[in-house]
A and B are shown apart, each in its own frame.
Chain A
Amino acid sequence: MSGHTAEEIRSEIRKYWIVGFALFLLTVVTVGVSYLDLSVGLAIFVALLIACLKGGLVAAVFMHLISERQAIYALLLLTLVFFAAVMLGPSFGRLASSAIG
């Protein structure tokens, strides 16, 4: 685990505040963008992009994924694949069919 010395911990603390501030800003941007008159597809894309950015910052810095071990990365990669399956499967199933429901 990194950050054992007091100096390292203090520099991490600086990072936390910077990221926290960035997240605040990005939240304002999220709301601001929603007032622009974007097409549906573009609106979804932009909103999710910003959300991913915010989520990425939380995961990388607050959850210190950026310095985490390979085991955790592997687990999350695996989860991501199945997450994609459960997210897309039902909707693709519906899009490709003419069935009711």
Chain B
Amino acid sequence: MQIPYTVAERPDTGLYNAKLGIWLFLASEVMLFGALFSSYILLRTGGGEGFLVGQDELNVPLAFVNTLVLIFSSVTIVMSWASLRLGDFAKYRLWMGMTILCAFAFMGIKAVEYGAKFEHHLYPSTSNFLAIYFTLTGLHALHVVGGLIVNGYLWGPGAKMFASDPQRFINRVETAGLYWHFVDLVWIFLFPSLYLL
């Protein structure tokens, strides 16, 4: 039994199932991060003097580097998809591998950042700003890890599908790419909101 439009696009919508599926999922993620941003706005506009404790301690240069890392990883993942469409599996592996490395770099820098905070006794409980900072960046980091696992699977064991069902595999990479760009997009808003404003 085959599910229609898993690979081919349905004519009237122009979409294959997973593409619609991932956009719907991303819509729900917009609402998830939206609720957290909303909480940040409410707490910050209503917070007392103690609210912003810890913001000066944030490491802007490291976060700046992390922003560049994620943007670069967005380029590499779309390149990996383009390579597949050109039939170049080796290039795909290269670009997807770089995407994964970027993700590890991001997490590494994040670990350094968090470690430094804890060393200076700056915890989520210290102030509401730090609470929302750790929650927002922590949830974002969890999403990076999720993407890392998926991308790792598509680079490794999952890549076998390119030989047996290439279009389906290309679709999977596209879908994973859409998710990954969204993770980048969230950080693009997180960075100025938490570190610069």
* Contacting pair B31 A79 (CB below 8 A): yes
* Contacting pair B196 A31 (CB below 8 A): yes
* Contacting pair A83 B30 (CB below 8 A): yes
* Contacting pair A76 B27 (CB below 8 A): yes
* Contacting pair A59 B42 (CB below 8 A): no
A6 at the interface (CB under 8 A from B): yes
* Contacting pair A27 B67 (CB below 8 A): yes
Q: Name the residue of chain B whose CB is nearest to the CB of A30.
A: B192
Pick from A43, A50, A69, A94: contact of B42, CB under 8 Å: A94
**Complex Cα–Cα for A91 and B42 (A):** 5
Binding site for A on B (CB under 8 A): 9, 13-15, 20, 23-24, 27, 30-31, 34-35, 37-39, 41-42, 45-46, 60, 64, 67-68, 71-72, 74-75, 78-79, 82, 85-86, 177-178, 181-182, 184-185, 188-189, 191-193, 196-197
Assuming A13-B82, A95-B45, what are 5 further A-B pairs, CB within 8 angstroms?
A13-B79, A17-B75, A20-B75, A69-B14, A86-B38
**Complex Cα–Cα for A61 and B144 (A):** 21
What residues of A have a CB within 8 angstroms of the CB of B46 in the complex? 94
Shortest CB-to-CB span from A25 to chain B, Å, is 10
What residues of A have a CB within 8 angstroms of the CB of B42 in the complex? 90-91, 94
What residues of A have a CB within 8 angstroms of the CB of B9 in the complex? 1
Shortest CB-to-CB span from B125 to chain A, Å, is 19
* Contacting pair A71 B197 (CB below 8 A): no
Q: 0/1 per residue, A37-53, Cβ < 8 Å to B?
A: 00000011001101100
* Contacting pair A63 B188 (CB below 8 A): no
* Contacting pair B82 A75 (CB below 8 A): no
What residues of A have a CB within 8 angstroms of the CB of B35 in the complex? 86
What residues of B have a CB within 8 angstroms of the CB of A43 in the complex? 197
* Contacting pair B196 A34 (CB below 8 A): yes
The 28 listed contacts between A and B (C-beta, < 8 Å) are A1-B14, A9-B85, A10-B86, A16-B75, A20-B72, A24-B71, A27-B68, A27-B71, A43-B197, A47-B193, A47-B196, A47-B197, A51-B189, A51-B192, A51-B193, A55-B189, A58-B185, A58-B188, A62-B74, A63-B181, A69-B13, A72-B20, A75-B27, A76-B23, A79-B31, A87-B34, A90-B39, A95-B45
